[in-house]
Chain A
């Protein structure tokens, strides 16, 4: 009896880890790995809804290369990503530097108020800002009119050249404090003794920033940059909801994911949508690799 129980105990011990990962593996294979492979296959078909397929080989990708709407989507998304990295991240770092001073009282309050917009999901931010941006009565135009004299009927969401600035402004509000949290954590992890040593050597505040702070936070900075680039290239909800489920005036708010959604789930061509998806994935991967290379992430590991 006890022998049997011992054997059973050993048996459950041996197979427990497999049992523990099984639900995860099954779901992951079914809803992660299978669709990933299937999307490669789908990308070589033209489809009309989930039922009818026509094999076209690499035709979808060739068509993408000469598709003016796709070009527009890529251009818009790239502009958005550019500003996300080169405007938003320096501001995030700036806020983190302000908060990182030891003398700041009420740091928790400031940190929360900078971070709080991130709690609002993209769709809800989009609805809120679509009203904030309306001409004549919207909050933004009223404030800008009072402060800078900007015309009250500035049409943020219907003037093609203002759509992108409006989107960048909105995402700035949403994410600047979120990224600040990462920078703040990194700044607080920099060894205090390095600053003391630099001070003894007579380094100015700016020299300390350049030679102690920047190298200290570099791994986190690269991490944040890669993450926000990937996130920016997935832009969809913000313009889609703000522009009333359209790509905006003259397609000024068309993004890659919006183009994927329109082709796959409005027109019903899941094949072309998959081709767009894979172009997005490869593009994002390539940019991430370039960023990591450029910032020397790999060199440090050698």
Chain B
């Protein structure tokens, strides 16, 4: 009969075996992606993972035969602008909802909550009609402007800014700060963790978005990565190496941003879940 400590050790072994097995399953596709990007055309299916000789052939093809760099720059521009605009409007609005009493505040909150329940795809047809009438089809503006507000972001910032002490704001007023400076010099610095979390959420949303850009972008020059890569699948279906290299480079910016902001992100996500 096993003693208590032997039983405990066996349990530990089983636990780690399960965890490591899951880790392998979860990480294998990404490792395979990295390996596939760095194999020459003859080695791609010859070796399951890494080939003995690494090749930059796929990346060269990506930048010479395909306007991949253009797609990448477009995505950086669109996602970067979207993050800045969403961040400013959401935090400013969130500040007002958290720290002021004013007429219509309740109605705004109710309408916002109600629209969060509705799938965005419902809006696509009328939104397209609207953008068409504003003559913004096939433009960056048409891509960015409808996404300039984030109801979710507004709630996130309201939630975190509720914790700013009123005394602090009152002290600022006595020192002669106007209300915008209270927002800029007090509320924003205090909300830094939430800003980090929201930057990542907002960047990922814009970087990975597909349906709306697919609807309104027509000219290849303006394609973002998701649209460009989807087109590549059709045009270069057999060029698996270049496709994988393109996928790897498309994923990398998000991964880098995640490592820079992960602390804020995980705690923001968890806080949202517990409160929600």
Contacts and interface: CB of A to CB of B under 8 A. Distances in A.
A119 B23 contact: no
Contact of A36 (B96, B122, B229, B254): B122
Looking at A34, A112, A186, A285, which has the most chain B CB atoms within 10 Å of its CB? A112
B19 A288 contact: no
Given A24-B89, A25-B108, A234-B121, A220 B273 contact: yes
A116 interface: yes
Given A24-B149, A189-B274, A277-B121, A237 B23 contact: no
Given A182-B273, A264-B128, A277-B124, A36 B89 contact: no
A241 B90 CA distance: 32
A20 B92 contact: yes
A136 B183 CA distance: 60
Given A98-B15, A117-B29, A182-B273, A122 B210 contact: yes
A139 B226 contact: no
Interface string B66-97: 00000000000000000000000110110111
Q: SS class of chain B's interface: helix, strand, loop or mixed?
A: helix
Interface size class for chain B? 35 or more
Nearest to A114: B26
Contacts of A271: 125
Looking at A31, A33, A112, A257, which has the most chain B CB atoms within 10 Å of its CB? A31
A87 interface: no
A95 B25 CA distance: 13
Nearest to A170: B29
A215 B23 CA distance: 29
A125 B234 CA distance: 16
A139 B126 CA distance: 42
Given A13-B179, A122-B210, A261-B211, A42 B92 contact: no
Given A20-B92, A120-B254, A128 B29 contact: yes
B26 A177 contact: yes
Contacts of B190: none
Contacts of A185: 269-270, 273-274
Interface in A251-302: 257, 260-261, 264-265, 270-271, 273-274, 277-278, 280-281, 284-285, 288
B96 A117 contact: no
Contacts of B90: 24
Interface of A: 9, 12-13, 16-18, 20-21, 23-25, 27-28, 30-36, 38-39, 42, 50, 95, 98-99, 101, 103-104, 110, 112-114, 116-117, 119-124, 127-132, 136-137, 139, 142, 173, 177, 181-182, 185-186, 189, 220, 223-224, 230, 233-234, 236-237, 241, 244-245, 257, 260-261, 264-265, 270-271, 273-274, 277-278, 280-281, 284-285, 288
9 contacts: A17-B105, A32-B149, A98-B18, A131-B243, A136-B45, A137-B45, A220-B276, A274-B125, A280-B121
